[in-house]
Amino acid sequence: MHERTLGTPGLKVSALGLGCMGMSQSFGPRPPREEMITFLRAAVDRGVTLFDTAEVYGPFHNEELVGEALQPVRDDVVIATKFGFAFDENGGQTGVSSRPEHIRAAVDGSLRRLRTDTIDLLYQHRVDPDVPIEDVAGTVKDLIEAGKVRHFGMSEAGVNTIRRAHAVQPVTALQSEYSLFWREPEDEILPALEELGIGFVPFSPLGRGFLTGQVTAESQFGEGDIRASLPRFDRVALQANLALVDLIRTVAERKGATVGQVALAWLLAQRPWIAPIPGTRRLERLEENLAAAELELTSEDLGELDSASASVQVQGARYPEAMQRMIDR
């Protein structure tokens, strides 16, 4: 697996990481724990070094899973986790919170669940409009100086917020959605990251499965599958959005690759400091995704994909309205 470097601070990670959320929530029933521990260790064996989790995934279950699975190889991997949500006494999510005392408590909990002394990359999961971002960055700076955290990251933050945070504590990476399906970061985010020397970690680089080529107009999303509630995946939008997959498939067939591999290779070709984190819990899908790092797209291929993306107006919002309000732009 090729390596990439995130940010001026220089965090080296595998070109493709692994998003771990789906092992605990959002995509149907939770798989058996031992099965996922075996899967995570298989990912390490195949060269993955960047593993992405968060306290809210589960909640808490995902960090515990990742911590147990990666403990034997802790020195060989980069673990990224996130703070930024508040919970009630039963573990239910009650909204965003980035108060300094909450951040410190969240980090202590994450360290315990991850079975580690240091978090390699700590993201603010969502911007808290009630807490100045300077206070957030300052708290993370203190945690870095205390040795509990190595690098500071942000997620779904807008350019102004990123600049203000970066002035207090250098930001190593931004995590936001980016794919052939969702290209909003190209307008303002990517130029700002390039200027500031910040790496980019796209989540949902395969459009929550849309760009794998496995979703069809007849696909049903059952109980516990977040896609059942996403406007992009309602029946009318789904049918319209499949036009983009058909155009990508034309390139994939010419390259002897899958739709998903072409979508990931396109992302990797955008900037050398982009490290996508496709999520999966199936070994065959993981191996398919990792092979995308070896797929070379010509300038003609990239131009055709850009034209395809521009020609299809993606239907449906990314999130329901309540979740959309948490995005900082």
**Cβ-proximal residues to 165 (8 Å cutoff; 6+ apart), any chain:** 133, 134, 136, 137, 152, 154, 157, 171
Q: Is 150 exposed, middle or buried (0-12, 13-18, 19+ CB in 10 A)?
A: middle
- HSE (CB half, 13 Å, CA atoms) of 327? 14
DSSP 8-state assignment for residue 76 = G
If residue 13 lies in a helix (H) or strand (E), which one and from where to where? strand 11-14
Task: Give me the residue label for tokens 């395809």.
Answer: 308
Half-sphere exposure of 311 (CA within 13 A, CB side): 13
Distance of alpha carbon 160 from alpha carbon 198, whole angstroms: 14
Give the N- to C-terminal CA distance of the chain in Å, as an integer.
Answer: 34
Hunting for tokens 């107009």 — which residue is that? Answer: 217
Q: Are strands 93-96 and 85-87 parallel, antiparallel or unpaired?
A: antiparallel
Catalytic residue among 57, 123, 178, 319: 57
319 is catalytic: no
So which residues are the catalytic ones? 57
